[in-house]
Amino acid sequence: MHGFFETDILSDMQKPFYVKVLLVATLLLGINAFAQEKDHSSSEEKGSLKTEIKEFIGHHLLDSHDFTLFTLDEENNEHVGFPLPVILWDNGLKVFSSSKFHHGESVAEVDGNYYALYHGKIVKTDSEGTINYDEDHHATNVKPLDFSITKNVVFIFLVSALMLFLFARMAKSYKTSALPKGIGRLLEPIVLYIRDDIAIPNIGKKHYKKYMSYLLTVFFFIWIINLLGLTPLGVNVTNNIAVTFALAILTYLITTFTANKNYWKHIFWMPDVPVFMKIVLAPIELLGTFIKPFSLMIRLYANITAGHVVLMSILGMMFIFKNWIGSPLSFGLAFALSLLELLVAALQAYIFTMLSALYFGSAVEEHHDH
């Protein structure tokens, strides 16, 4: 995947937006006008088109420092969208607008330091924007700590605000009547489902209450943000390993800090097995406590990423086949897959919540005879 990323990256950065506009247009119009336009393309162009689609998918999966809805004219660098604040920690806090990068085309100069976008990441560079590579073709430029409000951060903000708004409103509606009003009618069964079918069976009636806030928040957060990933806005928050890592580490920390004596006993000194087995099992069990949240992280990340890659590859096929059967076929496939992705969005939220509840349940399980 690295090869095509690193060739002329700065000038190629914009191509995905170009392709994206056409993708959307083709989807909306349902005709293959674009394909006919490029009818004269040779096999060589076909190769570059494939690369372009691959790059676009790769880029789509990445976070970005500006909020670009679509590109009007790639040559003149005209985009519809808005820049986002870049916050760097590089010997002091540096805050500036991402418009300084001009969509990755130029080097941003702040307080005598020069920064450039490289693979969607900010690297420190000189006034020319030189990127140095080591023998493995990795950039060796210094990467400052980047706390920028990226597109994904914006969406995390938005989803957080949306959730606060929805659920605070729902909570308020209970003050006037015993039954929820408005959106609460839709949300209450889901809340009750999480309580009655996820929390109570896995954690137990005695302890489930203290975990409910986390389970509910994580379920709705993942679900809503997964659904947003399916919109044409093209935000994919949960396919960032950093996001799923943050969620998984919370599950791990809550499990670890609420665990009772029984839980630790089962890890370090497994009861009812010979002493030799106890010694063998301890490191395995200890490793298991890390593997559990790790699997949570990878599962969510991989499912959402895979869904997006497959969906976009199918859309990309439209441009490769370029005949009357290709577009409807890929449209139909993409449509069916989108429906599947809707299910996956909810399913992954459910699985994450369910497994978190299971781990919490094991942490507070009371001692009983085996």
Residues that bind another protein (CB under 8 A): 1, 62-63, 87, 121, 145-150, 152-153, 156-157, 160, 163-164, 167-168, 170-172, 174-175, 178-179, 188, 191-192, 195, 209, 212-214, 216-217, 221, 240-243, 245-247, 249-250
Spacing of C-alpha 248 from chain mean position: 13
Nearer to another protein, 68 or 238 (CB): 238
CB of 117 to another protein, least distance (A): 13
- 3-10 long-range contacts, Cβ below 8 Å, gap at least 24? 4/51, 4/54, 4/55, 5/55, 5/58, 5/119, 6/133, 6/137, 9/104, 9/118, 9/119, 10/104, 10/105, 10/116, 10/117, 10/129
- What is the dihedral angle through the alpha carbons of 217, 222, 227, 230, rounded to the nearest 10 degrees? 160
**68 beta partners:** 81
CB of 233 to another protein, least distance (A): 17
CB of 217 to another protein, least distance (A): 5
Nearer to another protein, 34 or 293 (CB): 293
Nearer to another protein, 121 or 266 (CB): 121
Sheet holding 93-97, edge to edge: 93-97, 85-89, 145-146
Nearer to another protein, 294 or 350 (CB): 294
Measured distance between the N- and C-terminal CA atoms of the chain, rounded to whole angstroms: 51
Rounded Cα–Cα distance for residues 40 and 35 (Å): 10
Q: What is the CA radius of gyration of the chain?
A: 25
Nearer to another protein, 242 or 342 (CB): 242
Rounded Cα–Cα distance for residues 28 and 25 (Å): 5
CB of 159 to another protein, least distance (A): 8
CB of 198 to another protein, least distance (A): 14
How many Cα atoms sit within 13 Å of 228 on the Cβ side?
21
CB of 171 to another protein, least distance (A): 4
Nearer to another protein, 242 or 336 (CB): 242
Nearer to another protein, 1 or 275 (CB): 1
Q: Amino acid identity of 58?
A: G
CB of 56 to another protein, least distance (A): 17
